[in-house]
Structure 1
Amino acid sequence: MLSDLEAPPRPVGDAPRTIRVHPDDNVAIVVNAFGLPAGTVFPDGLTLTEFVPQGHKVALVDVKRGGHVVRYGEVVGIALRDIARGSWVEESCVETPVAPALDALEKCTRVPAALPPLDGYTFEGFRNPDGSVGTKNILAISTSVQCVTGTLDVAIRRIKQELLPRYPNVDDVIGLTHAYGCGVAINAPEAVIPIRTLQSLAQNPNFGGEVMVVGLGCEKLVSERLVPGRQGTEEDPANVVRLQDERHEGFGSMIDSIMAMAEARLQVLNRRTRETCPASDLVVGLQCGGSDAFSGVTANPALGFAADLLVRCGATVLFSEVTEVRDAIHLLTPRAATPEVADALIREMAWYDDYLEKGGADRRANPSPGNKRGGLNNIVEKALGSVAKSGTSAIAGVLAPGERVRERGLIFAATPASDFVCGTLQLASGITLQVFSTGRGTPYGLAQAPVIKVATRSELARRWSDLIDLDAGRVATGEATIEEMGWELFRLILDVASGCKQPWSDRWGLYNDLTLFNPAPIT
């Protein structure tokens, strides 16, 4: 804990400022970049009794031991001791409240009315034979087992050097590699999740429907299972290069086979060109990582406003991260469009509760130490800020992990909260662009889809000016409203989807590995 003597000097003219989210809140967060020292007096007469770091909570009233600490109009903690007005409400002061009971939730009681449609918004995308539209034109090569990853890496290096320059309309060649496929309980009930994820990944709209698989030959996850419609057989592999096939004489033969199959697909993909498409063809994923106390008051509400605009255009928007939804589920099931959607939300929460319990953990393992340094005391506070990404639209559907999206509108795609696992599962569900909010900062990117990174604080946006694409911290300083930031993000989404602007991760070629979610046993 910082002492008053450790509080850095406040810049001259930097007036003390806090944000109180809801009229019922009895805490507010400090906005000032370096925190505020003891003795700071606010215009309403509130006086700090101790140093409070940026983003951390200050008590607006006296809270007795056992009393409720309220933020977002919701109970985010139970006071473990008396908390005086003007003091720092830090982690040791509060106990995490119990999660909402899943068997007593309201369902469809506050379904939002449809907002007025937004017509006329378009982007330049790559239309596929199945009607879906990509924002990139990529040859993606799937693998059926981790054993072939090194070989595929060699092949892709050669494809990029020798073949890709001949096909200028193709953006990239990537491998959909993973640590799965053998040494696993392939028929275990939960194995459906990683297998479904790999099947769905290959069909992402950014890949143009040109599926290609590299396998070994002895793995449990046979290559043909990753080809849509199970095309091909062992005798006629069609879309599969199998390294153990007797036709291969040495390593060079394997590489030549991969390159020949890749070139056939590059020829098809090179005929794809951008065309004007309605915004309704977009499938956008929303995610947050390295969150802080500003996430729920700047970036995530802006994401939510942009999500509402996209839904008004007829587009599809996915929000995710079960553990960062679980403690706010009572705010979501009333917004479910149908009882079936509400039941599906509850089903995914219950599944994850059971999954954590079997692993000897619970939701309190989230947040991370960095989240706490950013002012988030516990998972309840983090979840309430996280669900702000969902905006105000009715929830139209729910996806189990790895399922492909079917409905348009606002969709909950059940995923773990891990940035990389969530990103992989959203890609499998069919996102063609992702918006990623961060407060502490994370150099995150996906090769498979453009990622727009939004900072919750202007300090981060300035410090990481060549990683952050949009500064939502202007909401905290009063330079912009949530609505203005939402519209700015909406227009940026259309520009990035059209290829007119590149997010920083694409400019740097900054891409993280795919990470499968595998709750099934490894044998």
Structure 2
Amino acid sequence: MQATHENKAPRTATRDTVKLNPCDNVVIALRDLQADEQPFGVPVPLTNSVSRGHKIAAAAIAEGENVIRYGQIIGQAKADIRPGEHVHVHNLGMGAHQQDYAHASANTPLAMINEGRTFQGFHRADGKIGTRNYVGILTTVNCSGSVARFIAEAAEKSGLLDEFPNVDGVVPIVHGTGCGMSGKDEGYATLFRTLAGYAQHPNFAGILLIGLGCEVMQVADLVGGRPIRQDGVLRYMTIQNEGGTRRTIERGLEELRGIAELANQATRQPAPVSAITVGMQCGGSDGYSGITANPALGYASDLLVRHGGTTILSETSEIYGAEHLLTRRAETPEVGQKLIGRIHWWEDYTARNGGEMDNNPSPGNKRGGLTTILEKSLGAVAKGGTAPLRDIYKFAEMIDKKGFVFMDSPGFDPCSVTGQVAAGANLIVFTTGRGSVSGYQPTPCVKLATNSEMYTRMAEDMDLNCGDIVTDGVSIEAKGEELFEILIRVASGEKTKSEELGFGGVEFVPWQIGAVM
């Protein structure tokens, strides 16, 4: 079957249903439908009620036959399915599947846009541009996490930042690892990249690095005898060297003041839109995700790439079954093969840990209409638009190419975003159908609702409603352009809903790989 996933408005849509591709043998309900109703695109009345976002058989599907959505296989029928029947977990399963990767066969470059668009950002000494101007307290190990929080709390209570109006705040970056691990395996290298990436992030004007002193992830190894940031705004200490908790807090406050004085000298200045790097995520997905918010984000991704910017697709376990759509867009066959190498790593990783690649979708995804990981993945890759895939990166590996790229990560949202931020994302865009709530300091997160009902219910958490693509006939192109303008405003300092609510305190989640010892 032809491997396409058109980033355009549905071909056949009514108020009742949508058929996403002429080859599909299912339609998607656009409202809650009752038994005995006969919606458009279904040849007989419904045998059962079907919730919005769920699938309905548009034709008879024999047991073992492929079920087609987006013009792609999303699984096989577990029993004979009659026209008008609800198609979901009770009668649709994964089944065996093989993909034709056709590496680099459809990597058509996008036409570049040279309009000279700019945003107001913070210029750093290493040439990167920040969208925020935070001071970070970075921890090497779980054992220094509480002290980092104590320092941040003491700074807030003392009003330390009152005299530094250009500093957005103090962000403690704490986590649950850094010791009880090997000091030379893949897990150690992954954590090292993650911490080093945050220490160099352009949304931090300066960093206070705090360790305990005896942990595996040593401060000295991270610093390496040189500043992690080229502009030198890095201070570091260990609790054991300072003489305990109280003395570390006192010293930490002194160091924060010095960092804040330097950070306060930074002001927003015009910067090219090409300096924006967006990490793209979806979580709490539903049957609308691949119809509304994800393709709208894909259109905005293409716009940013055409302006010379960078977008990062991730969540390897949630592109499983749709990776052939990305390998075709690989810039070279080698890039496509690198992606498949990560897929094979994941197959081994899940198998040796007693898991399976079809562990997704989650219960919430299924209530929203998704059935198999193939179906979820086909909707998820729509976030990546149509641009050529320039390269594949490991988790938290620094992105060094412009354009559309892929970073390997789990599908667990806070962990995946942590890797994207470490890799250099200075904005995050997060699509959700069920209503995920989260935020990711130091990088602002723009939340997209896939459906109007959830947006109305959770408007205080959502930055943009994409449900009007279905309810009001708004085009995906128009919604993508609206999102692109939001990204420029947020990059220039406009606060997102998650920032206004104060999210970001618990969403730093490094990927722990390997034995905990």
- Taking the TM superposition and a 5 Å limit, the aligned residue runs for 1:266-305 are 266-305=260-299
Whether 1:205 aligns to 2:199 is: no
1:196 counterpart residue number: 193
Name segments (4+ residues, structure 1) moved above 6 Å.
none
1:124 counterpart residue number: 120
Whether 1:112 aligns to 2:108 is: yes
**Would the aligned equivalents of 1:16 and 1:40 in 2 still touch at CA under 8 Å?**
no
User: In structure 1, what residue type is equivalent to 2:81?
Assistant: I
Whether 1:18 aligns to 2:20 is: no
User: In structure 1, what residue type is equivalent to 2:295?
Assistant: P
1:235 counterpart residue number: none
**Would the aligned equivalents of 2:42 and 2:84 in 1 still touch at CA under 8 Å?**
no
Whether 1:244 aligns to 2:237 is: no
Secondary structure class of the residue paired with 2:125: coil
- Taking the TM superposition and a 5 Å limit, the aligned residue runs for 1:81-480 are 81-100=79-98, 105-162=101-158, 163-208=160-205, 210-227=206-223, 230-231=226-227, 239-245=235-241, 248=243, 251-480=245-474
1:4 counterpart residue number: none
**Separation in 2, partners of 1:89, 1:326:** 21
Question: Displacement, 1:63?
Answer: 0.9
Question: Displacement, 1:431?
Answer: 0.5
Of 44, 59, 62, the match for 1:61: 59
**Would the aligned equivalents of 1:140 and 1:174 in 2 still touch at CA under 8 Å?**
yes
**Would the aligned equivalents of 1:291 and 1:440 in 2 still touch at CA under 8 Å?**
yes
Normalising by structure 1, what TM-score? 0.92
Secondary structure class of the residue paired with 1:239: strand
Question: Displacement, 1:37?
Answer: 0.5
Q: List alignment gaps of at least 5 residues for structure 1.
A: 1-14, 233-237
Normalising by structure 2, what TM-score? 0.93
**Deviations 1:256-302 (CA, angstroms, capped at 9, x unpaired):** 11111111111111001001111001011100000011000000000
Distance 1:44 1:176, change over 3 A: closer
**Separation in 1, partners of 2:407, 2:266:** 29
**Separation in 2, partners of 1:320, 1:309:** 19
**Would the aligned equivalents of 1:138 and 1:174 in 2 still touch at CA under 8 Å?**
yes
User: In structure 2, what residue type is equivalent to 1:359?
Assistant: N
Moved more, 275-284 or 15-24: 15-24
**Separation in 2, partners of 1:492, 1:26:** 37
Seq. identity, %? 37
User: In structure 2, what residue type is equivalent to 1:457?
Assistant: N
User: In structure 2, what residue type is equivalent to 1:510?
Assistant: F
Question: Displacement, 1:514?
Answer: 0.8
**Deviations 1:323-355 (CA, angstroms, capped at 9, x unpaired):** 111210111111001122112211211211111
**Would the aligned equivalents of 1:446 and 1:510 in 2 still touch at CA under 8 Å?**
yes
Moved more, 198-207 or 294-303: 198-207
**Would the aligned equivalents of 1:111 and 1:394 in 2 still touch at CA under 8 Å?**
yes
Whether 1:502 aligns to 2:503 is: no
**Deviations 1:347-369 (CA, angstroms, capped at 9, x unpaired):** 21121111111101111111101
2:68 counterpart residue number: 70
2:9 counterpart residue number: none
Secondary structure class of the residue paired with 2:82: coil
Distance 1:432 1:381, change over 3 A: same
Question: Displacement, 1:42?
Answer: 2.9
Secondary structure class of the residue paired with 1:425: helix
Secondary structure class of the residue paired with 2:75: strand
How many residues align structurally? Answer: 497
**Deviations 1:195-254 (CA, angstroms, capped at 9, x unpaired):** 21111121111013x23211111111111233376449xxxxx73111111x53x53321
**Separation in 2, partners of 1:127, 1:226:** 24
**Would the aligned equivalents of 2:203 and 2:443 in 1 still touch at CA under 8 Å?**
yes
Question: Displacement, 1:118?
Answer: 4.3
